[in-house]
Amino acid sequence: MASQSLSLPPTHIPYNRIIGKLDSKFLLWPSCAHIKPRRISTSIRAMGSSASSHSQSQYADSVESEAGADTIDYKSLTDEEWKKRLTNEQFYITRQKGTERAFTGEYWNTKTPGIYHCICCDTPLFESSTKFNSGTGWPSYYQTIGKNVKSKLDLSIIFMPRQEVLCAVCDAHLGHVFDDGPPPTGKRFCINSAALKLKPKQ
């Protein structure tokens, strides 16, 4: 009987859980000897399949929620793989350290409340509340979200050393940071719109 029941539910339920339930059935119903075997089997099967579908849906949910964040090693993606995921402009800006023309990007003048995420890996990078009008024609922020943005010295213009800013998760080039921003940080993160995706507040 036990082996018949065990073979019925899908494999997501640990066997010891089923056996535990079986045992508890017997323990709780010492008079089970009086119940017809078929009835016990049905009862256990129903319990098993119910628990099983619940467990399966939880499993599916957890995989789905983790898929975006944990299963892709963004730093190991090749240029070819990035090209499939991004538009030409997004690829040029984020993976080839390009710069969009001032006053042309999607967000330079946007005031919509929300969170600006990395276009490449969806990491939240800037809050709209830290965005300010820098007059430069690029979206500008005085603060990052946590340590999701990192910076490194950029000597690509020989007489003008700058601090490049990148997504800490996927190394996407975002823009540069300067020391002429407003309080409280005094920083100006000058970012390409094409590196960002605004998710408006619900």
How far is 188 from 181, CA to CA, in rounded Å?
4
- Show contacts with Zn ion in window 65-104 (CB under 5 A): none
Binder of Zn ion out of 22, 77, 169, 198 (CB under 5 A): 169
At residue 123, φ and ψ (nearest 5 deg) are: -70, 135
How far is 191 from 174, CA to CA, in rounded Å?
5
Q: Contact between 40 and Zn ion (CB under 5 A)?
A: no
Radius of gyration of the chain (CA): 28
CB of 167 to Zn ion, least distance (A): 3
Binder of Zn ion out of 86, 170, 190, 196 (CB under 5 A): 170
Beta carbon nearer to Zn ion, 86 or 118: 118
Beta carbon nearer to Zn ion, 5 or 193: 193
> What does each C-alpha distance from 117 to 14, 114, 145 come to in angstroms?
39, 10, 10
Q: Contact between 44 and Zn ion (CB under 5 A)?
A: no
> What does each C-alpha distance from 46 to 23, 31, 100, 102, 156 come to in angstroms?
16, 20, 61, 64, 67
Q: Contact between 174 and Zn ion (CB under 5 A)?
A: no
At residue 69, φ and ψ (nearest 5 deg) are: -90, -40
Beta carbon nearer to Zn ion, 118 or 190: 118
- Show contacts with Zn ion in window 102-161 (CB under 5 A): 118, 120-121, 123
Active-site positions read 190
Binding site for Zn ion (CB under 5 A): 118, 120-121, 123, 167, 169-170, 172
